[in-house]
Amino acid sequence: MTESYYRYHVFFCINQREAGQRCCGNHNSQAMRDYLKKRTKELGIVGRDGVRANTAGCLDRCKQGPVIVIYPEGVWYTWKDKNDIDEIISEHLQQGRIVERLRIAAE
C-alpha cells in the first residue's frame, strides 16, 4: 500500500459559471480557500504529513455547494462562513473527526 504524501488533501471548488448559474464561485470560495491555507499555515499543520489545500475546478456538486472534499477519506463538506471552515480545520484536520453537521453525502 502506498502512503499518502499529505495526511489530508483538501480540494476547494472555486468554479465560476456564467451569471445566474449555481456554482461554488458565487459563495466566495476562493477567499475561503485562501483563509484555510492561511489558518493551516498559522497552526503549523501544512506540508508533508500535514495538510495541503488546492484549488479545484468544478467538482460537479453545485446543488450542495459550496463544496470541499478532503482525502484520503473522500469526505465532502459544504460551508457557509469562516466559522464552518474553522470547525473543519479544528475537528477534521487537527483531530481527525468528521464534522457531521457540514458533511454531504457522497451519493
Could you give the domains of the chain?
8-104 (3.40.30.10)
Separation CA 31–CA 52 (nearest Å): 16
Burial class of residue 36 (count of CB atoms within 10 Å of its CB; 0-12, 13-18, 19+): buried
Quote the pTM value. Answer: 0.90
Q: Is the pLDDT of residue 68 over 90?
A: yes
Residue that has been written with the C-alpha cell 468554479 in this structure = 15
Percent above pLDDT 90 for the chain? 64
Higher confidence at residue 53 or residue 18? 53
